[in-house]
Structure 1
Amino acid sequence: RGASAADARAYGDLLAADKQHDAAAAAYAMAIARGGENDWNLHFLRGTALDRAGRWSEALASLRRAVALAPRESKVLSYLGSALVSRGDGLEEGQLMLERASRLRPNDPAIIDALGWAYYTRGDLVRALPLLERAAQADPGGSLVNEHLGDIYWKLGRRYEARYAWKAAALYADDAAAPRIAAKLTNGLGAAN
């Protein structure tokens, strides 16, 4: 009852680490209500917890609030931009956020990959390819970036390079990505997407 905003945040962090995302989101909401209204990080943490709990519309509102409070915070711009692109909900807005994040952190491989993927998703393969290659070079063990690189190589007709990139992606793929990547290795993009 007498917990401070810092106490509620610490509790939310513990719940998030234990993958109790709904409960973590509630703890972060409590922290916001107890004096954290203008703390962009609390809104960001709540938004990511809600997103991981499958509550995207609520997550979107929290993430937008975090961006409004911290328009130059690359972590927030990158997360929301990537989420918008991956959901197909606002590809242009997501791309613009990722471009801003990239200007703030031009050498971050995750941001480079996300921006390259945004260009790919919007059909701009010419701008996407050098970014995805650069991201894979910076993070050669990155499963997602190698999968993205394989996808663009396939689209460009570079089948051998696509399979090579997908094989690299398969090495470190998590349980959710492994079947998708295996399907790409077997059938290319036709059956996997």
Structure 2
Amino acid sequence: MQTGKLIVFAGPSGVGKGTLLRSLLDKHPDLYLSISATTRPPRPGEINGHHYYFVSRDRFETMVAEGQLLEWAEFAGNYYGTPRQPVERAIAEGKFVVLEIELEGARQVRKTFPEGMQIFILPPSEEELERRIRARGQDSEAAIARRLQRAKAEIAAADEFDLKIINDDFDRAIAALEAALFAVVPAGRVQ
């Protein structure tokens, strides 16, 4: 059995990476999406163990101290991280594991898995990114301001990634993602 592959999927909050990723997974259910742990409360409709592992701040800090996370970062006042064991197990089983994470997490993963493919999703413009964040209707003005400030720093770091895709046209962005993944994945080899 061949070893799997790690695919890091990052971009600023509100860029549409979750929507792109859901579409990609619907079309290619054999890709394995890693589930992150977070200290933020669930949003309406989110299920523990399916969308995220929702944990207390104390539990998260214990996970960090015990080396149970592949990467972690604090974002908008909450911790996010990738539990190490499920990712390593899936890669060892030959699966292609997709991590949807933020910039700091991607940098940490790059050190641990330099052979992983890193993809950064860009907004068409900062104005469009702000419009998308506001359209969610989930954040206070202070949270929106923090997300936009963070987005500027993340966009400035996009050149660190193997591939940049501008999410200005959904179908074109999906096609670019598929082309990148299936160039990485030999024909008939996605598991």
Choose between structure 1 and 2: higher helix proportion.
Answer: 1
More relative contact order, 1 or 2 (CA 8 Å, 6+ apart):
2
Choose between structure 1 and 2: higher strand proportion.
Answer: 2
TM-score after normalising by structure 1:
0.26
Larger Rg: 1
